Every structure is written in C-alpha cells, then in structure tokens.
Structure 1
Amino acid sequence: MATFNDIIKQHPLVLVDFTASWCGPCQVLAPILKDVKAHYEEALSIVKIDVDKNNALAANYKVQGVPTLILFKDGVQVWRQSGVLQLAQLTAVIDSHRK
C-alpha cells in the first residue's frame, strides 16, 4: 500500500481533502470537488482523507477542523484552507499553482 508521501509525489498537482463522514460542510464540498476533478481531469489528483480513520496523518498536518483542503505541487504543500470553497474559488487557487 502506498504511503501518503508516495501519493502526493506520484502526481504533479494533488489536492488533499481532509474530511469526516459526520461533517455537514464536507458533504457540501463533495459535489464541488467532483466538478473540480471533471474540470481538470488528469491534470489534478484529488485525495480524500478521513480524519477519523487517519488521526496521525491529520495531526501531522495540524488539521484542526474539517473540511481542510491542502494543495501539493510536486510533493510540496503550496496552499491550504479550512472550510467550503465554491468551484470558482477553488479553480482560481489551483490555476495559480499550475504554472
């Protein structure tokens, strides 16, 4: 099984969604992330991490609340934000790191 570091390094641009099944805002964000994936297709990898099943990883990235989104470029964290973002906001952030 691949480690988290392997996962964020195997694709040039990876958006990690720290989420929880009981989280209302996370459920609001889910269809937005599907639209983001459809928009970028293979140019972006999206990884969902359940904080309840991955406590150590969430603690390692100092995730205080869900949803927390972290964008990695070439395995390096370049952006993070907690809370729900709309499609246009999220694509603007991703586009700013694609160059």
Structure 2
Amino acid sequence: MFPSSILPLLPVHPAMLLVLLPSVGPGTRQETPLVRSATNLLLKSLQVQLGAAIRILKVDEASHPGVVQAFDGRGVPAFVLLRDGAELWRQQGLPEGEPMAALLLSKVADAT
C-alpha cells in the first residue's frame, strides 16, 4: 500500500480519433495511391499537433467493415472522437486544416 500522500500516478488513456476511410482497390472510384499518401501525411502531421492527448487510428472500410459500419452514420471518409468509449464528436470528411488540432483538443478538454 502507498501512503495517501504518495499515490502512484495512473496512466491516462488518451482520447482516440477514429478516421474512417473508404475502401481502395481495383474497380473502386475512391482514392488513388497518391491521394492515400496525402491522407497519410495529413494524419501524421495532425498526430504531431495533437501530441499524446489524442491518438489517431485509421480504420479502412475494406479491412474493418464492421467497425466502419458501427460508427458510420453519414458515409466515409469521416472521423469520430472518442474518450473511454464515449463519443465526444464526429464529422464527415477528413480532419484537415490548421484549426482542427485546437478544435479536437478543446472537445477533449470540455469532456474532462
């Protein structure tokens, strides 16, 4: 046991940003490899801005159709912000633009 004045710090679970992406493959009109690369760069840049507060997880419709279907209310691409399994916010499209990191971080702070 720890004395009450020396309690161990429990790990804080970061919020999750699920980025729901459309299927890519032969015969689909969705993304080309160039667009997919641009999406990956966009998400890496956003992850740097979010730091450890929000973890980005890409969910591809082809690989995980059940997950996309469970969270998809309006089509893909879309993104859903979660904390401890509870949905904090969602939006259709990709999380792009300079103010997006600040907006996502504010949604997490508001939920605390």
Partner of 1:71: 81
Q: What is the root-mean-square deviation in Å for CA atoms of aligned residues?
A: 2.4
Larger radius of gyration: 2
Provide TM-score, normalisation by structure 1. Answer: 0.71
Provide TM-score, normalisation by structure 2. Answer: 0.65
Instruction: Using the TM superposition, give the Cα deviation of residue 30 of structure 1 relative to its aligned residue in structure 2, in angstroms.
Output: 2.5
Query: Whose RCO is larger (CA < 8 A, sep 6+)?
Result: 1
Query: Which stretches in structure 2 are left out of the alignment for 5+ residues?
Result: 1-11, 25-29
Partner of 1:97: 107
Aligned to 2:15, which of 5, 13, 16? 13
Number of corresponding residues: 90
Query: Which stretches in structure 1 are left out of the alignment for 5+ residues?
Result: 1-9
Q: Name the aligned partner's letter for residue 13 of structure 2.
A: H
1:48-67 map, 5 Å: 48-67=58-77
User: Matches of 1:70 and 1:98 in 2, distance apart?
Assistant: 12
Q: Which has the higher helix share?
A: 1
Ranges of 4+ aligned residues in structure 1 off by more than 4 Å: none
Sequence identity (%): 24
